[in-house]
Structure 1
């Protein structure tokens, strides 16, 4: 999928070898970049609203900055491909949700980075599995070469009838989707990976922890010198000692990283308590941009719950949750100033609407602009491209909305320029804003009490797997 370079540098000492001596680290400094192989997943690397992001990407980016070199990223692989690239020397290091396994041939591993807890997830409606015995009659999926396979192998020592299906062609979000739609009964993935995706799959439940926690680590070739590995280990030790590693883990995994699907009852309650103080600001921004002020209020509620000081784990801030880049482009110098944030967010939305092709009619272009506000114009373009490939109308929101969830499925996003995106989140985002807008429109037309507004009633890829039966165990 190509490479990406980040030019971030610092002035820390670069040398980790004797003068005149060749080393892996010396070669990296000579070519002036560190080559990373990773996976395009929500826990490793993906393109977010502010550009490339992900826990492991962020950690390696900081390591490259410490070395004083750029970072080149190849994100087009699954676990097996990452390990093969490390063994062959195509990658300086692999950071791809890899479990520390000293028996992996051709690989040296770094210091431990974080714990990985294998977890059984299952489809709602099944009898909840609570033990390994409960899994023996279920169709179970797992990613090949992952630590979750190790957990299953360990479990089969005491439960020889245990059978599962391994795949190296899918990712965790694919497995969760297959559990949700009935292609699998259950899957084994890491607990933190499920936490990031569970809101998009309400038909999938936590089961139980499978075995003991494993260890996330970086992979290095075992046929070279230790200069890069030693430097990486010192970097990890320092990040742990100064608390930066713990802060990064909290930022990416210490919360449910999804758009909160807030019920209409709570929205109406918040409207009664807080909207009046911001109405004039929404009206002013609406006069400047031509949008309905109630739409801007709905966007702001979805983004920040009308909290001027709101800050996301990824650094977007304020009533309209602007990134630094967007704020600068809109002339907003104080993102937590509610007047500036509302004005800047409204003008940014107008810019997105105007950037869309003229052929897209209203109101479809507004819904698409909202989706772009959430996941970026590049990912929206990918969804429109998918719609066109499928013989659908890329200018129709209904058709593009059907394609957005595919940005979370590896067989689709690997064919697209911008890769993985939380496409289901964008669908929920637009749906929520439209619902909030409708409620506000109703409220402004009626003097009724708010409570009557609430209706409590509203609220085969089997060929990709290798079945691992007891007689197929390694």
Structure 2
């Protein structure tokens, strides 16, 4: 699995070597400030954009463009589309300033007025059922292959026909990688040609599929900029370099790399089975809790799964009970009368999670407060505050998860915990808890 870990989601940090730190004029910056809001047309795709509540949206393109807007103090409005054709049509009608959809540069060149910065290094790979013997391009002959229209500017249909003349190639004008994988998994086709990162992202959902080989390497993904807003291009390039140097770009990519690294194939298979066998019994309670406390129901469900695997009889060695693994003292604090009642337990756990989110300063982003709240739900607010103090003493930012997660394991080391207020804690388990909960949340959010 090492291949996947090094392949997945590589931002183009350090690859844009010909551009200086600032190469826009004050006039261009002023033109951005004159816009009431930055309008982004974006493709609904788990790695580009998905939204479950007004407070939480996610996706690499969404997070990067939100950071760009924040850097320049601009409000950003996202309008999502379910397929490339509708998005491109809206872009051509001038309905947005930027269009984003994880498009290869060659595809962007055929549609865009102005090409935005290279923001991710990409490749096309071949994914097939495990029993299909395909180690090279010529092995695809006599097989049923699915490809996408958006791939044609990287590897054209004509090139494929010439190189694998006896392959039966279906070119999908629209459609998702997940749906194509489902077709292959169900033996309606043999192999898929897809963006490598997207393929790896979805691969663990299908135990009978695997990566076979790279077909085309080293092309970039780019955004489209409207002709009337060409002043955005130098601003975006300067922002990308600065955000890359400061680690903000890498931080965004880390969130989506976790999905494929933290969970094993077995984890995913068991989770998928339980989304069918156990989730339906409690989904109404998750949605009710999410609505009541302003949380995505998928977040409540992910916490619950990580706590108890949606087993209402679960009880840990420390005495916590029920679906959300709430202690008796916490249950009394939350006003839970029957800790064994699934609905009460879920509502109580959601209320506690909301209180933890509200505990952290509002100048921290909402997504960062959610991550810190997950850590506090597991380790307790006292131990987390110990980790904050330790982080600051070691020159780390306690509110940046990528830094905090390197500090939490030190709470189990005598050298460090002997000077803390709350003493020894199994911080490495908290890191695993947060990462796995995030992974389950991303799975539920991207498939529902």
TM-score range, shorter chain: 0.5 to 0.7
1:155 to 1:107, Cα distance in 2 relative to 1, 3 A: farther
Give the aligned partner of residue 209 of structure 1: 214
Within the candidate set 230, 236, 244, 1:232 is matched to 236
Using the TM superposition, give the Cα deviation of residue 192 of structure 1 relative to its aligned residue in structure 2, in angstroms: 1.8
Give me the whole-angstrom Cα distance separating, in 1, the residues matched to 2:189 and 2:100: 28
Deviations 1:162-205 (A, max 9, x none): 44222233111111111112222211122221222223222222
Using the TM superposition, give the Cα deviation of residue 61 of structure 1 relative to its aligned residue in structure 2, in angstroms: 0.5
What is the number of equivalent residue pairs in this alignment?
298
Give me the whole-angstrom Cα distance separating, in 1, the residues matched to 2:70 and 2:117: 19
1:294 to 1:334, Cα distance in 2 relative to 1, 3 A: farther
Give me the whole-angstrom Cα distance separating, in 2, the residues matched to 1:182 and 1:335: 51
1:242 to 1:321, Cα distance in 2 relative to 1, 3 A: closer
Give the aligned partner of residue 205 of structure 2: 200
What secondary structure, in the 3-state scheme, does the structure 2 residue paired with 1:210 have? strand
Give the aligned partner of residue 292 of structure 1: 340
Contact 2:145–2:169 under 8 Å retained in 1: yes
Contact 1:36–1:94 under 8 Å retained in 2: yes
Using the TM superposition, give the Cα deviation of residue 128 of structure 1 relative to its aligned residue in structure 2, in angstroms: 2.8
What secondary structure, in the 3-state scheme, does the structure 2 residue paired with 1:111 have? strand
Within the candidate set 422, 447, 459, 2:447 is matched to 422
Using the TM superposition, give the Cα deviation of residue 30 of structure 1 relative to its aligned residue in structure 2, in angstroms: 3.5
Name the one with the larger helix percent: 2
Gaps of 5+ in 2: 1-21, 271-305, 307-314, 350-366, 387-436
1:146 to 1:74, Cα distance in 2 relative to 1, 3 A: farther
Give the aligned partner of residue 88 of structure 2: 83
Give me the whole-angstrom Cα distance separating, in 2, the residues matched to 1:92 and 1:111: 14
Within the candidate set 301, 321, 324, 2:374 is matched to 321
Contact 1:119–1:207 under 8 Å retained in 2: yes
What secondary structure, in the 3-state scheme, does the structure 2 residue paired with 1:65 have? helix
Contact 1:192–1:253 under 8 Å retained in 2: no
Q: Counterparts in 2 of 1:43-442, with a 5 A limit?
A: 43-47=47-51, 51-101=56-106, 103-124=109-130, 126-146=131-151, 150=155, 154-221=159-226, 223-224=227-228, 226-253=230-257, 255-256=259-260, 261-262=266-267, 275-277=316-318, 279=320, 282-284=326-328, 285=330, 289=336, 290-292=338-340, 315=368, 316-317=370-371, 321=374, 336=384, 421-423=446-448
Give me the whole-angstrom Cα distance separating, in 2, the residues matched to 1:335 and 1:42: 34
What secondary structure, in the 3-state scheme, does the structure 2 residue paired with 1:95 have? strand
Deviations 1:122-161 (A, max 9, x none): 124x323111112122222222224686376555554444
Deviations 1:223-258 (A, max 9, x none): 436311111111112222323222322221255177
Gaps of 5+ in 1: 1-12, 268-273, 301-313, 339-370, 377-404, 408-419, 424-474
What secondary structure, in the 3-state scheme, does the structure 1 residue paired with 2:171 have? strand
Task: With the length of structure 2 as denominator, give the TM-score of the two structures.
Answer: 0.56
Give the aligned partner of residue 356 of structure 1: none
RMSD: 4.2
1:248 to 1:151, Cα distance in 2 relative to 1, 3 A: farther
Give me the whole-angstrom Cα distance separating, in 2, the residues matched to 1:239 and 1:88: 31
Task: With the length of structure 1 as denominator, give the TM-score of the two structures.
Answer: 0.53
What secondary structure, in the 3-state scheme, does the structure 2 residue paired with 1:252 have? helix
Using the TM superposition, give the Cα deviation of residue 116 of structure 1 relative to its aligned residue in structure 2, in angstroms: 1.3
Give me the whole-angstrom Cα distance separating, in 1, the residues matched to 2:382 and 2:115: 44
Give me the whole-angstrom Cα distance separating, in 1, the residues matched to 2:250 and 2:157: 29
Give me the whole-angstrom Cα distance separating, in 2, the residues matched to 1:219 and 1:145: 14
Give me the whole-angstrom Cα distance separating, in 2, the residues matched to 1:131 and 1:167: 22
Give the aligned partner of residue 416 of structure 1: none
Give me the whole-angstrom Cα distance separating, in 1, the residues matched to 2:249 and 2:152: 21
